[in-house]
Amino acid sequence: MAPINSQGKEGRRKPFTFTHETLAFFANCKGKGMTKREACTELGAPNSTVNRRAKKVGLYEELQKIYPPSFSLPFPDKSTWKPKKNILHFRAATMQWRKAS
């Protein structure tokens, strides 16, 4: 019988530490043409965990040199940006649709 205080943590992996070897692994994966997400899957950790651990040990900038952030769209300029259509909210108190301010 399983111990009473175990809460299903038997299957958990050992938490990995982000080192220069991990950085070399990502550089190797980039050379093979893998995406960062595929490399993270092969490493056995989610992308967010990899980023967090890299920041913790101060190697996040190095990781970004290997895999730069993928979003290329500039953020919209507030002065020129207009919403595509009016957004409406339903007010239950008045039972009417109101335009969002």
Percentage of the chain modeled with pLDDT above 70: 68
Per-residue pLDDT, 6: 46
Could you read off the pLDDT of 49-91 as tens digits, one per residue? 899 999 999 999 999 889 887 665 566 666 666 666 677 888 8
Tokens representing 74 are 């500039």
The pLDDT value given to residue 99: 80
pTM: 0.55
pLDDT of residue 98: 82
d(CA 10, CA 83): 50
CA dihedral 12, 30, 52, 65 (to 10 degrees): 170
In angstroms, the CA 47 to CA 63 distance is 12
Higher pLDDT, residue 20 or 16: 20
Task: Report domain extents, the chain.
Answer: 20-66
